[in-house]
Amino acid sequence: MTLSPARHVRRALFGALAAAAVAVLSLGLAAPAQAATYVSGMDVSAYQGNVNWTAAYNNGGRFAYVKATEGTSYTNAYFAQQYNGSYNVGMIRGAYHFARPNISSGATQANYFAAHGGGWSADGKTLPPALDIEYNPYSGGTCYGLSQSGMVSWIRDFSNTIKAKYNKYPMIYTTFDWWNTCTGNSSAFASTNPFWIAIYRSTPPTSIPAGTATWTMWQYADSGTFPGDQDYFNGDMTRLKALATNHD
């Protein structure tokens, strides 16, 4: 498969508010205010190619998520350089999978992901495997042709497969709008899976999946100090390391 446009096509789907926030950031104004303690990081895909991880670390990046797979046939050709390179400079890193729920089951895609970089070990250096579940950039409709209950079942299938392999539930990356539209704002994962919320603005997410106490990661812009998308972890380095150490 050629390089997937999925991580880039979705930008247009975040809406006018997101576009305005990115425009403000691009004018050189302050990045999101940190009233709480956050750790800075980024997420990258093949689009970024070979990343200068030393520069990213020196600029304050302390974690990175790297795209590993999509569906059941795509792998990131730069995965090794990005995943190992971020680790080698001292970052806590993790892998993510772009979901395509209309082409195979959640379990099938979780197994493909696990076999191509999506593993996890309690070493304090590896973030939970992440499921990127969002607007469909291909044909088949926003929700990939699934009902809300069908989507919840698909995500549960993926999540439970990862949990059975590693005793670690995956991080779920999404936007609240997509989650509300395609799962009916399901609370089915509130007590098990950490959420990584994408909303491009200068203030933290306030709309999060039902039952969830707070967001764990926040993607606040698609460009900035670091390569790729710009992210915060909701806590300090001690909590980030705990996320990369503790089994569920």
**Which residue among the candidates 134, 177, 229, 231 is catalytic per the annotation?**
134
3-state SS class at 10: helix
Active site residue 229: no
Report the amino acid identity of residue 115: A
Instruction: Tell me the Ramachandran region of residue 88: left when phi exceeds 0, alpha when psi lies from -120 to 50, beta otherwise.
Output: alpha
Cα-Cα-Cα-Cα dihedral of 26, 47, 177, 36, to 10°? -60
Active site residue 177: no
Provide the sign of the torsion angle of the four alpha carbons 245, 99, 148, 105, taken in this order. Answer: negative
**Which residue among the candidates 70, 132, 177, 231 is catalytic per the annotation?**
132
| Euclidean distance between CA atoms 68 and 72, whole angstroms | 11
**Which residue among the candidates 43, 70, 222, 229 is catalytic per the annotation?**
43
Active site residue 134: yes
Residues designated catalytic: 43, 132, 134
